[in-house]
Chain A
Amino acid sequence: MIQTAEMLKVFSRHRGDAIVVPGRGGRHWVNISTRPSRDLPLGDPAMGGHAMFAFGLALARPQDKVVLFDSEGDLLMSMGVLPTIAEHAPANFYHFLLDNECYATTGGQPVPNAKNVRYDQLARASGYQRSYAFSNLEEFTGAIGDIMSQPGPVFVALKVIPEVINEAIGRRPKWQTRTRVQAIQDLRKELGIGEVGA
């Protein structure tokens, strides 16, 4: 199993100019990223939508790499997103999945069939041309440069150590430094596009 924060530190060396949607890795990524204006740490606007959001961003910005750190609970809720992404095969889309085998933010209850789902194979069967699975940091560290240097769409399933939260929602430390709307506005400013809908 991989420590999410350590994996994100390794990834950050290969990030380049990519736009990063850190998903459930956001609370670590905000402390690691050196380019916050190209990050969209949205937290959890509504579970099940992260992959489609990041894919939509990739469709709208074909000139930019878009990296998503999805989670297995989120993907399980909307597994049908995989064929949609594969159909369009965005060459700029890099889909990483943090698989901790549980719903960590609700106390660590297992996701359905937690230990037996091969997400990399689901992605491949849905039409992703490249997919990988890693359960230790050393192998990931050796492969990430090659993964990021080739065109997408690529799917990278990562077995990560659960970081279970049992604290009541109101007492959890806030890791987000900007509102979601502000993060989107900052990204659009960085990309040289105006207000949403303008």
Chain B
Amino acid sequence: MAESQEGFLSPKTVLAEMKKNGVTHVLWLPDSETNWLYTLMKAEPSITLVAVSREGLAFSGAAGIAAGGGKPIILIQNTGMLESGDSLRGWALSLNIPVVMMVGYRGYTRHGVNTDSAADFTEPFLMAFGIKYYLVERDADSPRISVAFEEARKLGRPVAILVGDEYHGFN
């Protein structure tokens, strides 16, 4: 690859953050920002990968896993998050579920000119639900993932990571 390692977000870095924070289950629906994680997550024995067919199911699933003592993470795209509003409200916020949601930031550019209306509505949506969020675009940003886990735990509610980097090939 032409770009330096520091210039993008490595799937190994993200997986290391998940393991460091004790994630047991990943609830996900593939998207173009996070699909590079699939092969690595699939090969990781400490993580159970739970594929859902609609993003709202990730929130009720995460609530069940958390209630039973597991530590879930949600991996979806902003488009799916927008459709999941009531599930997020009812299954995560109202049950005090401390889950980190990694959200593919489709349409985002760091230059401030979004290429898709999904990006335009992403941050206003999170603000409307009172959900804190962090932008992660490259490896140097990855410590924010641990910050999100810690805040979710302290607050007893979801915290979002916006993944602002599309994939650069599989692993």
A residues adjacent to B (C-beta < 8 A): 40, 42, 44-50, 52-61, 78, 80-81, 83-84, 87-88, 180-181, 184, 187-188, 191, 193, 196-198
Contact of A61 with B57 in the complex, beta carbons under 8 Å = no
User: Do the beta carbons of A59 and B68 come within 8 Å of each other?
Assistant: yes
Inter-subunit contact B54/A78 (CB<8 Å): yes
Identify the B interface with A (CB < 8 A).
24-25, 27, 48, 50-54, 56-57, 59-72, 86-87, 89-91, 94-98, 152-153, 156
B159 to chain A, nearest CB (A): 11
Once the chains are docked, how many angstroms separate the CA of A118 from the CA of B51? Answer: 25
Interface centre among B27, B51, B57, B94 (most CB of A within 10 A): B57
* Given contacts A80-B53, A83-B53, A191-B69, A55 and B89 within 8 Å (CB-CB): no
The A interface, classified by DSSP as helix, strand, loop or mixed, is helix
B64 close to A197 (CB less than 8 A): no
Asked if B97 and A49 make an inter-chain contact with CB atoms under 8 angstroms apart, the answer reads no
| Least Cβ–Cβ distance between A113 and chain B, in angstroms | 20
- Which A residues are CB-close (under 8 A) to B94? 45, 180
Q: How far is the CB of A188 from chain B (nearest CB, A)?
A: 7
Whether A60 pairs with B64 at a CB distance below 8 angstroms is yes
Which of B53, B86, B90 is A84 in contact with, Cβ under 8 Å? B53
Minimum CB–CB distance for A180 against chain B, Å: 6
| B65, B95, B153: the one within 8 Å of A59 (CB) | B65
